A and B are shown apart, each in its own frame.
Chain A
Amino acid sequence: MFKAVLFVWMTTIIVLALGLPMVAQPQAWYQFPIIPALGEKARIMFFHVPTAWLSSLAFVISMIYGIQYLRKKRMDDDNKSASAAGLGFLFCFLATATGAIWAKFSWGTYWNWDPRQTSIFVLLLIYGAYFALRSAVEVEEKRATLSAVYSIIAAVTMPFFMFIMPRILASLHPEPILNVQGKVEMNRTMLVVFLSSLAGFTGLFYWMWKLQVRTRTLELNRKY
């Protein structure tokens, strides 16, 4: 049931996000306004922003279940933590790739070490290091403990980027949802599609995560 609803929901969003016309002065409800300097390229935000949101959400979920594991020592929590990290890595890669493609057409280059690009690059590195660490430890309990500790250490140092990044370089990354002036440049339809896409992607993540956790639990039980 959940799968079917999710499928219809995501299909509708993809059709609406790519299909609805963009005009300078929206008259009808189904028209998107043109955001200055972005134009048709603004459509990527319906897919890029949810993936970026999921890559950080997955990181937080992974850390929370890591803490849970350290407190209660249940392998179930480690499964949840590792599955969330795996999906986070996937979505982080998608966010980086979609962002780079967008940057090629907006900024003229795939990669220019914009603060946003640097911070997602660091997030990718953390995910990479996390899995390198997991693959290096054979004993399951030890692997769970060490990776949980590493994800917590990484999570406490990650917020420092928010403070130092603006000191080094000014960002060119657009913030169409809530910009500095606090002005929403999207009309209601656009906002509804955007938020539905965010909800849809989160639902997709939840479904994939549950599947991963079940698969991992089965694999773990098969060994004994």
Chain B
Amino acid sequence: MSRPMHNAEQWLRSALSIFKKDWHSEMRTRYAISALLMFVVTTISIMVFALGSESAPADVLSGMLWVVIFFAAMSGLARTFVAEEERGTSMTLQLLATPSAIYFGKLLFNLVLVTGVNALTVLLYTIFLAGFVVKTYSIFIWTIALGSIGLAASSTIIAAIIAKANTKGTLYPVLSFPILLPLLLTCINATRLATEGAFLSESFGEFQFLISYVVVVITASAILFEYIWKD
């Protein structure tokens, strides 16, 4: 137990089992997945009906894509921590695993959830909104991937804060928006570059920014999570 190698292994195992636990309980109820999917479908169809026979320019549509992604994340990602508080299982979890293992397990779960939902959003978006044409796929795929990681990183720590506050749902977008705004602006910019057919090298600045954002947010969250988690 005392050897550091053993501890790292144990940490990884408990983080993965937190992820597996969340995955199984999600598969049983399918609460978050169905909420997220229905949200995406609803929002995109409202956009399609609102546009009617008009076609919006590509840069407007690349901004709207991130509006859909942001609010979809806001409607489903708080679930991981709120469910622990509602079921009253957070105390048990505190006894079973270290805070950092719990944080990374939950982060991994949110990451999988948000990546899946974003992939579907992008698919539906390109099918139903004809004006949205991606010309440089490499930029677009990197932007969606890095944007999803950043979104999962910030919304996980905010979800942990929200779960401990009294109002569960309404505050979530309010608290997340100022934190996520730099990420969203950069992702919108990079998506616009992808629709304009820019070269991959032109968007390196955006990617550097996204990577450093992810690193900073995850590091700060890993340090601070312990304070939120322990009552």
Contacts and interface: CB of A to CB of B under 8 A. Distances in A.
Given A152-B220, A157-B217, A146 B161 contact: yes
State the majority secondary structure of interface residues on A: helix
Contacts of A157: 154, 178-179, 182, 213, 216-217
A167 interface: yes
Nearest to B224: A149
Interface string A118-162: 000010011011001100111000100110111011101100110
Contact of B179 (A136, A137, A148, A154): A154
Contacts of A161: 182
A149 B227 contact: yes
Contacts of B217: 153, 156-157
Nearest to A73: B227
Nearest to A161: B182
Contact of A132 (B158, B175, B209, B212): B175
B167 A136 contact: yes
A119 B48 CA distance: 33
Contacts of A149: 157, 161, 224, 227-228
A134 B62 CA distance: 35
Contact of A142 (B164, B185, B213): B164
Contact of A153 (B166, B167, B220): B220
Contacts of A167: 189, 205
State the majority secondary structure of interface residues on B: helix
B165 interface: yes
Given A137-B164, A168-B189, A150 B175 contact: yes
Interface residues of B, number: 31
B171 to A, nearest CB: 6
Contacts of B158: 153
Given A137-B164, A150-B161, A168 B220 contact: no
A156 B209 contact: no
A156 B183 CA distance: 13
Given A133-B171, A136-B171, A122 B164 contact: no
Interface string B59-78: 00000000000000000000
Most buried by A among B166, B175, B189, B216: B175
A163 interface: yes
Contact of B178 (A70, A129, A136, A138): A129
Contacts of B221: 153
Contacts of A126: 178
A202 B203 CA distance: 42
B123 interface: no
Interface in B153-179: 154, 157-158, 161, 164-167, 171, 174-175, 177-179
B186 interface: yes
21 contacts: A122-B181, A129-B174, A132-B171, A132-B174, A136-B165, A136-B166, A137-B165, A138-B166, A145-B227, A146-B165, A149-B224, A150-B175, A153-B220, A157-B154, A157-B182, A157-B213, A160-B209, A160-B212, A160-B213, A164-B209, A167-B205
Given A157-B179, A157-B217, 7 more contacts: A70-B227, A136-B166, A137-B166, A146-B165, A156-B220, A160-B216, A163-B209
